[in-house]
Amino acid sequence: MAKVILFLVAASVIVAVAWLLAGIPGQVVASIGSFTIETSTPVAILAVAVLVVAILVLLGLLRGLWNIPRIGVTWRRRHRAEAGERAVTRVLVALAAGEQGPARKEARQARKLLGESPQTLLLTAEAGRLAGREDEAEEAFRALTNQAGASFLGFRGLLRQAVDRKDWTEALMLARQAEAAHPGTAWLRQQRAELALQTGNWAEALELTGPDPNRPTYYVAAADAEPDPARALAFAKQAWKQAPDFVPGVLAYATRLRAAGSEKRAQACVLEAWKRSPHPDLAAFALAPLTDPLARAQAAKRLAATNAANPESRILLARTALDAGLTGEARHQLEAAQADGVRQRRLSSILAELEEQERGDTEAGRLAQREALRQAAAADPDPHWQCTSCHAGVAAWQPKCPTCGKAGTIQWQSDRRPSGWQCTSCHAGVAAWQPKCPTCGKAGTIQWQSDRRPSGLSVVAA
C-alpha cells in the first residue's frame, strides 16, 4: 500500500515538473562555428540534463576501469586472510586433538598465508613441539623473540625447551631475558626458583620460593655453599629455627657453632634435638670431641638420658658401653631394645660382637656368635637415608637426590616396611590388589612391594 502511494506521489511530481518545464516559454539558440542549434527552452533543459547524466555515467565507468588492479589486490589479500584464519582454526583443532602431522602442515599453511605474525609463529612452534621436531619449534620461538610485544612468548618457549634438555645454563640466560621482556610474572618466578634449585643456587632459591616445607633443606644447602662463615652460620641458624628436629639442620647449625668456638651452645642444640628425634648422626657429633671410650660412654649416657626409652638411645648406649668394655651394660641395653620389639640388623651385629668379647674364642662363644649372625640375616633393615621420590638409598643426607635430582626428598627412613601391595605413585598401602589406586585414583600402579634392605650403610651409630 505504501509503495502504491509512493509511486503515485512520484508520478504526480514527475508530471508536475514536466508540465512546468513544458510551460516555460522562449527559444534557446546555440552557435558553434557554422553550426547553429535552435530549440525550445524545455527541450534544451532536457538535453542538458541528459548530457550531465551521460557525463556522470562515463566518469563512473572510467573510475571503475582505473580501480580494477587495486580491487584485485584487495580481493586477493582478503581471500588470503580468510584462508589463513581457517588454517589457524585447523591448527588449533589439530593441536587440541594431538594430531602431529596435520598440526604441522596447517601451521606451515597458516604461516605462508598470514606471514610471520606472533600467532602463526607460536602455532608453528607448538605444532613442532607436539611432533617432537624441537628444531622447528626452536626456529619459530627464535623468530618470535624478534616480534615487538611478543618476545616473551619466544623466550618462554626457548626456556621450556632448555629445561627439558636440562641445559640449566641456557635456561638461566633465557629466564633473565624473559624477565626483561615481561617482568614480574608468577610463572617466571616459579621457573627461576626451580632453576636456582637445579643449579644449586640455594640463596636465590630461598629468595624466590614462598612458603615451602623444604625451606630448612634449602637453608642447610645454602649454608654449605656459602664461603662466608658468618653468613653460613645465619643460614644454618634459620634451618635450625624453622625445624628444630630436622637433623641435617641441627647439625649444620651445631657444626658452625662448634667452629665458632661455641661448643656449649652446639651441644645444647644437639641435646635438645635428641629429645625430639634421636638420630645416630647427632650422637656422632656430640661424641666426636671425645676419644677415651669410657668418657664417650659417659657422654652417651648424658645424651640418652633425655630420651631414655627410645631404641636409638638404647643402641647408642649398647654401642658405647661395648666399646668401653662394659659388656653387662651393653647386654642390658640390647635386651631392653629387643624387649621393645626392635629387630634391626645393627642390634644383632652389636650382639655378635658382644658375644665375641664376652666369651672369646670358645665353643659357646662361637655358637652364640653364629646365632647372633643368623638373627642379623633375618633382621629388619637398619634405618637409612632414602629418597621419598625415587626410593634410592644414600649413605649420607644430601639436599638433592643424586639419583632423581629432586631437592628436599632425602629423608631418614626408620619405619619397618612390611611386604604388601602398594601404590607406586602415592605409596599408599592396600590390603589387596586393585586395578586402580583407591587413594590417588591412578590405574595400574598397585604393585607388590617387598622389604627393601639397603646395603653398604653403617651398621652402628657412633
Which lies closer to Zn ion via its Cβ, residue 166 or residue 436?
A: 166
Cβ atoms 333, 347 nearer than 8 A: no
Q: CA distances (Å), 54 to each of 48, 50, 59, 62, in order? A: 10, 6, 9, 12
In whole angstroms, how large is the CA radius of gyration of the chain?
44
Cβ atoms 394, 455 nearer than 8 A: no
Q: Smallest gap, in angstroms, from Cβ of residue 250 to Zn ion?
A: 23
- CA 396, CA 201: separation in Å to the nearest integer? 21
390 binds Zn ion (CB under 5 A): yes
Q: Smallest gap, in angstroms, from Cβ of residue 132 to Zn ion?
A: 27
Q: Smallest gap, in angstroms, from Cβ of residue 397 to Zn ion?
A: 13
Q: Smallest gap, in angstroms, from Cβ of residue 392 to Zn ion?
A: 5
425 binds Zn ion (CB under 5 A): no
- CA 345, CA 214: separation in Å to the nearest integer? 31
Which lies closer to Zn ion via its Cβ, residue 59 or residue 404?
A: 404
Q: Smallest gap, in angstroms, from Cβ of residue 402 to Zn ion?
A: 8
Which lies closer to Zn ion via its Cβ, residue 177 or residue 411?
A: 411
Cβ atoms 296, 429 nearer than 8 A: no
Among 317, 387, 423, 446, binds Zn ion (CB under 5 A): 387
Which lies closer to Zn ion via its Cβ, residue 124 or residue 409?
A: 409
Q: Smallest gap, in angstroms, from Cβ of residue 221 to Zn ion?
A: 15
Give residues 262-321 in contact with Zn ion (rule: CB under 5 A): none
Which lies closer to Zn ion via its Cβ, residue 102 or residue 405?
A: 405
Give residues 34-53 in contact with Zn ion (rule: CB under 5 A): none
Residues near 86 by Cβ (< 8 Å), separated by ≥ 6? none
Stretch that binds Zn ion, among 193-201, 278-286, 376-384, 393-401 (CB under 5 A): 393-401
Instruction: Tell me, by CB under 5 A, how many residues bind Zn ion.
Output: 6
Residues near 251 by Cβ (< 8 Å), separated by ≥ 6? 270, 281, 282, 285
Among 91, 196, 239, 401, binds Zn ion (CB under 5 A): 401
Which lies closer to Zn ion via its Cβ, residue 10 or residue 390?
A: 390
Residues near 396 by Cβ (< 8 Å), separated by ≥ 6? 385
**Which residue in the block uniquely carries the three cell numbers 643426607?**
397
Helix then strand then coil, % of the chain, to nearest 5: 65, 10, 25
Which lies closer to Zn ion via its Cβ, residue 389 or residue 425?
A: 389
Which lies closer to Zn ion via its Cβ, residue 197 or residue 387?
A: 387
Cβ atoms 303, 283 nearer than 8 A: yes
**Which residue in the block uniquely carries the three cell numbers 638411645?**
313
Residues near 159 by Cβ (< 8 Å), separated by ≥ 6? 171, 174, 175, 178, 191
Q: Smallest gap, in angstroms, from Cβ of residue 388 to Zn ion?
A: 8
SS3 of residue 120 by DSSP: helix
Q: Smallest gap, in angstroms, from Cβ of residue 366 to Zn ion?
A: 42
389 binds Zn ion (CB under 5 A): yes
- CA 335, CA 49: separation in Å to the nearest integer? 129
Which lies closer to Zn ion via its Cβ, residue 39 or residue 449?
A: 449
- CA 106, CA 380: separation in Å to the nearest integer? 61
Stretch that binds Zn ion, among 38-46, 95-103, 160-168, 385-393 (CB under 5 A): 385-393
Among 396, 404, 440, 443, binds Zn ion (CB under 5 A): 404
Stretch that binds Zn ion, among 133-141, 142-150, 193-201, 394-402 (CB under 5 A): 394-402
Among 39, 185, 338, 403, binds Zn ion (CB under 5 A): 403
* Cell numbers found for residue 251: 647439625
Stretch that binds Zn ion, among 44-52, 183-191, 209-217, 396-404 (CB under 5 A): 396-404
**Bridge partners of residue 394, in order along the sequence:** 385
Q: How many C-alpha atoms does 253 have within 13 Å on its Cβ side?
A: 28
Stretch that binds Zn ion, among 42-50, 174-182, 325-333, 399-407 (CB under 5 A): 399-407
327 binds Zn ion (CB under 5 A): no
Give residues 106-125 in contact with Zn ion (rule: CB under 5 A): none
* Cell numbers found for residue 101: 602431522
User: Helix 247-259 vs helix 229-242: angle between axes, to the nearest 10 degrees?
Assistant: 150
Which lies closer to Zn ion via its Cβ, residue 12 or residue 424?
A: 424
Residues contributing to the site for Zn ion (CB under 5 A):
387, 389-390, 401, 403-404
